């Protein structure tokens, strides 16, 4: 395989990847859950336009979806650099070479970031963004496939199983081997850590001890995107096109809905709906209770990870050919469509009323959502 083919494959994998929530520390030192898409102060009835606020070009492309916290965007690059910029005006406030690129699966906890460097001796690293220094570095045999955080531990999947590490120093807390290689993102919820292996088993373990709660064979295909939880229901998608829900209590299957196209992104939950993006370019809304279809929106292009625009009925997604879509989650109608003259290979990020779009020309552009005058106040 040529370098160009490898790079194209990497871009495709980056495009369909997603990022979960982050945890930040409050003034008393405890952790508070913050979603990467914080609430908008006023809900929107409609959107007038997407206005370009700033645009900056970088030396290297973005390796994964941009993480945003407190008006600061933390950007991972393919050349091993990580930069922080102000979302409001694009001003760079920090930048450092972390190692041989790319930087992948970056997670933020308070002032620390955790990430993997697969080309740097398959290392996992922790870096304090305020002090500008590494906390620790740890080499993992076979590398790491996915990273997740909870209030105390850092979880990583390896070629042999799952490992819980101390966030402060990277020391091992517990480790469990699996029969088959883990093939999914990791989900930390309550006292449960959930993931899937390459044989289609969904596995649930105790976060503190690693003990097995339950294991359910769902499909022969892998659970590709990061799963989500709504109440006591676990929702996942697979590369074979399956959408399914399980009981968090015992892992029993509640319902399955199979589509002919692979699903490489995470499901989105809004009220009583599950919204998924098929590789064919379709957004589908399903009833959360039984998986029945409610509506379909077609684009014909590979879609990025959809993002809910909080406090609205709108969902944001992009395509590889450069489309930006905002869609009404109630009926699947287009609210706004805009196209840029570049390929969008990484899922967009959202903060307040600002959308960050990175493209294959190495630009990051900030667009402001301009609502119509009939915006609804809370």
Is 339 inside a domain boundary? no
Over range 181-197, report the average pLDDT. Answer: 90
In a domain, 336, yes or no: no
pLDDT of residue 115: 92
> Does residue 261 sit within a domain?
yes
User: 121 falls in which pLDDT band (50, 70, 90)?
Assistant: low
Confidence of residue 45 (pLDDT cuts 50, 70, 90): confident
For residue 347, pLDDT over 60 is answered with: yes
Q: Predicted confidence band at 134 (pLDDT cuts at 50, 70, 90)?
A: very high
Residue numbers of the domain that contains 168: 3-37+61-294
Residues 310, 37 contacting (CB under 8 angstroms)? yes
Give the dihedral sign, CA 97/98/101/107. negative
Quick one: which of 265, 243, 266, 267 has its CA closest to 255?
Answer: 243
Asked if residue 322 belongs to a domain, the reply is no
Lowest-confidence region among 72-76, 78-82, 198-202, 207-211? 198-202
Domain count, the chain: 1
Smallest CA-to-CA distance from 162 within 142, 176, 148 is with 176
* Residue 351 lies inside a defined structural domain of this protein: no
Structural tokens at position 219: 């499909």
Instruction: Write out 93-130 in H/E/C secondary structure.
Output: EEEEECCCCCCEEEEEECCEEEEEECCCCCEEEEEECC
Residue labelled with tokens 């492309």? 61
Q: What is the pLDDT of residue 3?
A: 35
Cβ neighbours of residue 256 closer than 8 Å, sequence gap 6 or more: 218, 242, 243, 244, 291
What mean pLDDT do residues 80-86 have?
94
Token pair belonging to 367: 């667009």
**Using 50, 70 and 90 to split pLDDT, how confident is the model at 42?**
very low
* CATH code where residue 284 lies: 2.130.10.10
pLDDT band at 146 (very low <50, low <70, confident <90, very high): confident
Note the Cα 100 to chain centre separation in Å: 23
Contact between residue 64 and residue 346 where contact means Cβ atoms under 8 Å apart: yes
Over residues 4-26, mean pLDDT: 36
φ and ψ at residue 13, rounded to 5 degrees: -65, -40
User: Do the Cβ atoms of 26 and 339 come closer than 8 Å?
Assistant: no
Reported confidence tier of residue 27, pLDDT bands at 50, 70, 90: very low
* C-alpha span between 350 and 354 (Å, rounded): 6
pLDDT, mean of residues 340-354: 90
Say if residues 366 and 53 touch (Cβ distance below 8 Å). yes
Before 102, cis peptide (omega within 30)? Answer: yes
127 with 133: CB under 8 angstroms?
Answer: yes
Residue 12, pLDDT score: 41
Q: What is the mean pLDDT of residues 353-364?
A: 94
Q: Return the SS3 of 331.
A: coil
Which band of pLDDT confidence, cut at 50, 70 and 90, is reported for residue 143? low
287-309: average pLDDT: 92
| 216 part of a folded domain | yes
Q: Per-residue pLDDT for 272 more than 80? A: yes
Per-residue pLDDT, 46: 80
Helix (H) or strand (E) holding 245: strand 242-247
The CA-atom distances, in angstroms, between 88 and each of 263, 350, 356 are 33, 12, 11
Instruction: List beta partners, residue 208.
Output: none
pLDDT digits (tens, 9 = 90+) for 300-315: 888 889 998 877 889 9
φ, ψ of residue 18 to 5 degrees: the values are -140, 165
Q: How far is CA 274 from CA 16, 87, 291, in A?
A: 18, 29, 8
pLDDT in tens, 218-248: 987 777 778 899 999 999 999 889 999 999 9
- The continuous run of DSSP H or E covering 7 comes out as helix 3-15
Which regions of 150-267 does DSSP assign to beta strands (E)? 153-157, 161-166, 172-177, 187-189, 192-196, 201-206, 212-217, 228-230, 233-237, 242-247, 253-258
Residue 43: band (very low, low, confident or very high) from pLDDT cuts 50, 70, 90: low
pLDDT for the residue numbered 371? 83
How would residue 29 be classed by pLDDT, with cut points 50, 70 and 90?
very low
| pLDDT at position 75 over 60 | yes
pLDDT in tens, 194-224: 999 888 899 999 999 999 999 999 987 777 7
In a domain, 251, yes or no: yes
Tell me what pLDDT residue 26 has.
32
For position 243, what pLDDT does the model report?
95
Asked if residue 374 belongs to a domain, the reply is no
């Amino acid at each position: 395989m040529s370098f160009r083919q490898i790079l194209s494959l990497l871009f495709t994998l980056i495009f369909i990847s997603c990022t979960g929530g982050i945890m930040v520390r409050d003034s008393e030192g405890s952790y508070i859950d913050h979603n990467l898409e914080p609430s908008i102060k006023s809900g929107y009835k409609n959107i007038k336009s997407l206005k370009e606020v700033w645009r900056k070009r970088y030396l290297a492309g973005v390796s994964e979806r941009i993480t945003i916290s407190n008006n600061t965007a933390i950007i991972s690059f393919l050349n091993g650099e990580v930069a922080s910029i102000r979302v409001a005006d694009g001003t760079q406030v920090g930048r450092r070479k972390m190692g041989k690129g790319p930087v992948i699966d970056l997670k933020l906890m308070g002032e620390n970031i955790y990430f993997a460097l697969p080309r740097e001796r398959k290392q996992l690293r922790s870096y304090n963004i305020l002090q500008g220094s590494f906390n620790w570095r740890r080499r993992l045999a076979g590398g790491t496939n996915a990273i997740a955080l909870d209030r105390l531990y850092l979880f990583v999947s390896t070629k042999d199983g799952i490992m819980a590490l101390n966030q402060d120093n990277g020391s091992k807390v517990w480790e469990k081997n699996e029969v088959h290689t883990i093939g999914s993102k990791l989900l930390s919820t309550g006292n449960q850590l959930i993931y899937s292996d390459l044989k289609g088993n969904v596995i649930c373990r105790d976060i503190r001890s690693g003990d097995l709660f339950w294991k359910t064979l769902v499909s022969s295909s892998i659970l590709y995107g990061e799963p989500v939880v709504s109440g006591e229901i676990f929702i996942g998608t697979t590369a074979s096109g399956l959408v399914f829900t399980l009981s968090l209590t015992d892992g029993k299957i509640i319902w399955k809905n199979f589509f002919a196209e692979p699903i490489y992104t995470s499901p989105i939950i809004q009220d009583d709906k599950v919204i998924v993006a098929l590789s064919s370019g379709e957004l589908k809304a399903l009833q959360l209770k039984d998986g029945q279809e409610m509506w379909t929106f077609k684009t014909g292009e590979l879609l990025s990870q959809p993002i809910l625009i909080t406090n609205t009925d709108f969902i944001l997604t992009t395509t590889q050919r450069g489309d930006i879509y905002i869609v009404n989650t109630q009926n699947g109608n287009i609210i706004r469509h805009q196209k840029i003259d570049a390929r969008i290979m990484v899922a967009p990020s959202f903060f307040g009323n600002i959308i960050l779009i990175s493209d294959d020309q190495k630009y990051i552009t900030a667009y402001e959502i301009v609502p119509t005058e009939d915006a609804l106040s809370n």
